[in-house]
Structure 1
Amino acid sequence: MWYDLSIQKRLEGESLSADVHVPGGSAWFDGHFPGAPVLPGIAQLAMVFDLVRQAFQDPVRVKEVSRVRFKQMIMPEDRLVVVAEPRPGRVGTYAFRITKNEELVCSGTMTVVPINSAEK
């Protein structure tokens, strides 16, 4: 992985949580932006997906990402907490949040389906 996943745990029910360290040497920071590196949003969503997919035995893919809000920038060497909570009545849909120093960095909803699913 391009980041360090140091602790991973299940919270109450089916909620998932992981402590993440984003190393300064990650290729995601190259050119984004020169002199002031910031982790791109797509990389943040990849961290969420990596956490969510571990809740499933079979491989899954992202079907939909919605209601995403980026509140703060993630810089090299930041330490984060990624939490994903299943939405009641919506199989494969998780509300997620990424925090840094207990402050919200990013939040949204991600839906995953089995990789061989015909759902689009």
Structure 2
Amino acid sequence: MDFLFNDHLLNDKEGKMSASVTTTGSSPWFSGHFPDDPILPGIAQLKMVVDLIATSGQGVSHLTGLSRVKFRKIVRPGELLDIQVTCTGREDQFIFRITSGDEEVCSGRMFSTQKKLV
């Protein structure tokens, strides 16, 4: 299940990427999580980060590890999320932050391998 980014901004010169996503109640991510009180699972938030890295032109990103991940806010259908990813200077390490308005939703470090598309 891929997310459709509302807008997409890449700035490879500074090693920063950003995008925004509006969560919709019809998304399969909310199905069964939870029927009477839908919330966006943490794994879906991490998938947004992976999708953004994968669209950066570096190839297909394969997650190999996570560090210092913190989930700070529950995400409900209809929320606008801003995703920021910064390359740490190494091709396989990224610092990410997801916010909703002024509130931090999720943050941490992601480690990946890159496979170039043929």
Fold similarity call, TM over 0.5: yes
Match for residue 107 of structure 1? 107
Q: Which residue of 1 aligns with 2:36?
A: 35
The match for 2:45 is 44
Structure 2 unmatched ranges of 5 or more: none
Q: Which amino acid aligns with 2:14?
A: G
Give the gaps of 5 or more residues in structure 1. Answer: none
Change (3 A) 1:57 1:94: closer
Task: Point out 4+ residue stretches in structure 1 off by more than 6 angstroms.
Answer: none
Secondary structure, in 3 states, of the residue corresponding to 2:47?
helix
Q: Give the counterpart letter for 2:43 in structure 1.
A: I
Q: Does 1:13 align with 2:25?
A: no
Residues 94 and 109 of structure 1 are in contact (CA less than 8 Å); yes or no, is this contact kept in structure 2? yes
- Find out whether 1:72 has 2:73 as its counterpart: yes
SS of 2:5 mapped into structure 1: strand
Residue 56 of structure 1: how far off its partner (Å): 3.8
Conserved? CA contact 1:66–1:110, under 8 Å: yes
Two-structure CA RMSD over aligned residues (Å): 1.8
SS in structure 2 at match of 1:3: coil
* Conservation of the 8 A alpha-carbon contact between 2:19 and 2:52: yes
Query: Normalising by structure 1, what TM-score?
Result: 0.86
Q: Which moved more, 1:106-115 or 1:43-52?
A: 106-115
Distance 2:4 2:56 in 1: 19
How many residues align? The count is 115
| TM-score where L is the length of structure 2 | 0.88
> Cα gap change, 1:53/1:2 in structure 2, threshold over 3 Å: closer, same or farther?
closer
What is residue 98 of structure 2 aligned with on the other side?
98
